[in-house]
Structure 1
């Protein structure tokens, strides 16, 4: 082959290669141009609109001051930039269903680095796919009919003991702080079978203070203090877990996995090699946080609404008076009794609709997502919020009014989400329900009560709470 032909062939190959590269680049460019990002404002470099978000959240006005104005301007799907990440905020039942039901397929749970380190990278909130299903199965099994039948008398007696020790001979009590201590004890002792020791609640509270703080360890910072408290709790729980394992292996109590305390179930999973010791510890820590703070807030908001709506309080009280007629003096409640508290549960749900214990949660897109004509790029955060449906007239008539009777009929899926939804719906919501209903029963049938500040403001740091701790006046019923 002569040199001239070689040069011609090389020239043709070079032209073909260049053309191919050009076509590929043009296609990629066209593909990018076809991606229509949601409308919105990304705010300042890096910080985006984080300051506006935090300001609205701290005053418990995230929907009114941050989300609703942007929905009016951009629609129910809009982009922003929060905490260092480009974020798409979505609203409405269809959006909730799409995002929450596609967990593990299109999105995964996304928490701040501080939350992951303090709750534990081996907790269920960080697990994906099969490992998530395994852990969730162990936890959820506790709340079957047999488990709930076992839990009701334990929760009843725990609340009765708390009221006797903390409420009797008192004329004023902080309802929120009192129920925080009570729900903390219920989670540890009734659900997990771990005795509460002096200082444990205070140590857990120190961890919570750093959950959403910047993950920077310098002396005196919230995250530094929280990390130190987390190590203390870790040592304490490891000791409990290892002691439980020794006892179960020594006497062959692996059958406790089917009907015992949640701690026994988790340790049985450890013995069978299904989960690790770190997974047991991290999930105990997560369960304590997930259960006691949100439940105490739900209880506080239920009493806030009852105080402001005497007619609802009268109907609720009558339900419990009727229930007591069928009970002997001193007889404890059963699961069937709790199931009869239909109006009380309507009141509680309506209170949680107006004051959701969680504002929503973040997900991260693991693929490019096409939704409502827009593209949510891979790697972007997605935020769904309870307010997007709870406060919407599309789902609730006169949404800002308190109307428990609206819960006489069920709502469509992904409309009412105080416990989240999809594969990550709160595994312990049944315990929250039991605790709230039994507590309301014992208080309204045994005490006259009134709020000192009926219009007390709600703030968030990082979870919502009544700014004064919701002090109430109490006196035993005659």
Structure 2
């Protein structure tokens, strides 16, 4: 009997081995086509070269889309990366945030924006912080922000525009939007001259190589970040002491809401500071670029300018001298928002965003391996005839009706839709109203080149000639 049992063991083990191999053999994966380039470096040099010239679509994305299709692989900044294009891809990856992918920014961006900012938070921590930010930009918050925004813009125009014949529009809008996010959103009263240069230095290092060696962009940015942090920590602690001592009542300002959450033990002081830093950058630099390019498009398309001006003059006729706009007035600026959206379609403030695959992802017949980066791009839909016929033509009427979901994505989408989206919209519309109703203006260089370092900006600063309108 024992001999019979032992005689069955070899075939039994052979069957077990075959079953093990069948169920545990590596799955064959089909990667998207594309070139990985040199080890570690990959195609990073070509990517950066195209980015600096603001030719990412023409010189980097478009040639690869033509060769490999809307999904292709590459290697960028040391990471194997799959670039995806199209509204379907945008929706899939944006709505699978925290499930299949997570935000994945370069090391330098994380170090300078803050490890405790909403940019790096996942899951419940992200939802908590986003809820606090969203509450300050709800209907009540926006109602209160508009008149404060008007005051801030008028103060800047009186000081810097009234007695000038020519100004740098891009520089001027950067200062204005910087002031607005600090004063109107956070309620922080700081002289811009004391903080603005430091923020500009930080911006220069957000996509630089994270080499903290004296003289490098990243080193200068880290030093500037330390200066900003010191000021903000003092402001947060002063605010907390006043609120705990009953010397300040809670208001609808975002800093108050963040500090209240800090007092309740829901977030840390580091989270408060890092999110102030992040939101100042997110709200002011991209918005100033959108405003500058909107004026460029209005200058180059006089018929659009005339129609927009009529919209604002009609609103102005309903206001008494010196009376601020209201949120109801802003809602009437429908054509202006069409112009702004068409401008951001052609000149997106960001080229896209990186994600990291948390698991192997099966998509459109391809496998994106765990740990690889995923890059969605604004150009992938903004410049695609499938979504916007004759895509390089400026045509605000495209936005008279709703466009296909996830085809227009200058503010991202899904759970990571830009938290400052509504503030940016108000900023653009209110600023345009103040300028076109009070000043005659013209762009000095209508075909001024756009460069990137690291975000896009007019190479000459978008100088415009101005003169006050007589009423």
- What TM-score does the superposition give when structure 2 sets the normalisation length? 0.96
Matches within 5 A, 1:79-98: 79-98=73-92
2: distance between equivalents of 1:5 and 1:373? 50
Between the two proteins, the alignment pairs up a number of residues equal to: 469
When residues 409 and 380 of structure 1 are mapped into structure 2, their CA distance, relative to the original with a 3 A threshold, is same
**Maintained 8 Å contact 2:387/2:404:** no
* Number of the residue aligned with 1:146: 140
Matches within 5 A, 1:147-162: 147-162=141-156
Structure 1 residues 290-314: Cα deviation after superposition (integer angstroms, max 9, x where no partner): 0100000000010010010000000
Aligned partner (choices 385, 404, 424) of residue 432 of structure 1: 424
Deviation at 1:96, TM superposition (A): 0.1
* Number of the residue aligned with 1:240: 235
* Number of the residue aligned with 1:276: 268
Aligned partner (choices 285, 288, 298) of residue 290 of structure 2: 298
Aligned partner (choices 208, 221, 226) of residue 216 of structure 2: 221
- Residue aligned with 2:433, SS: helix
* Number of the residue aligned with 1:164: 158
2:114 corresponds to 1:116: no
When residues 234 and 403 of structure 1 are mapped into structure 2, their CA distance, relative to the original with a 3 A threshold, is same
When residues 473 and 29 of structure 1 are mapped into structure 2, their CA distance, relative to the original with a 3 A threshold, is same
1: distance between equivalents of 2:236 and 2:451? 36
* Number of the residue aligned with 2:124: 130
2:255 corresponds to 1:263: yes
2: distance between equivalents of 1:261 and 1:467? 35
1: distance between equivalents of 2:289 and 2:457? 6
2:435 corresponds to 1:443: yes
When residues 53 and 26 of structure 1 are mapped into structure 2, their CA distance, relative to the original with a 3 A threshold, is farther
When residues 90 and 331 of structure 1 are mapped into structure 2, their CA distance, relative to the original with a 3 A threshold, is same
> Cα RMSD between the aligned structures?
1.8
* Number of the residue aligned with 1:64: 58
Aligned partner (choices 386, 410, 420) of residue 378 of structure 2: 386
Any unmatched runs of 5+ in structure 1?
Answer: none
Deviation at 1:28, TM superposition (A): 4.2
* Number of the residue aligned with 1:209: 204
**Maintained 8 Å contact 2:352/2:378:** yes
2:181 corresponds to 1:187: yes
2: distance between equivalents of 1:84 and 1:26? 35
* Number of the residue aligned with 1:371: 363
- What TM-score does the superposition give when structure 1 sets the normalisation length? 0.95
1: distance between equivalents of 2:332 and 2:12? 78
* Number of the residue aligned with 2:32: 38
2: distance between equivalents of 1:377 and 1:444? 52
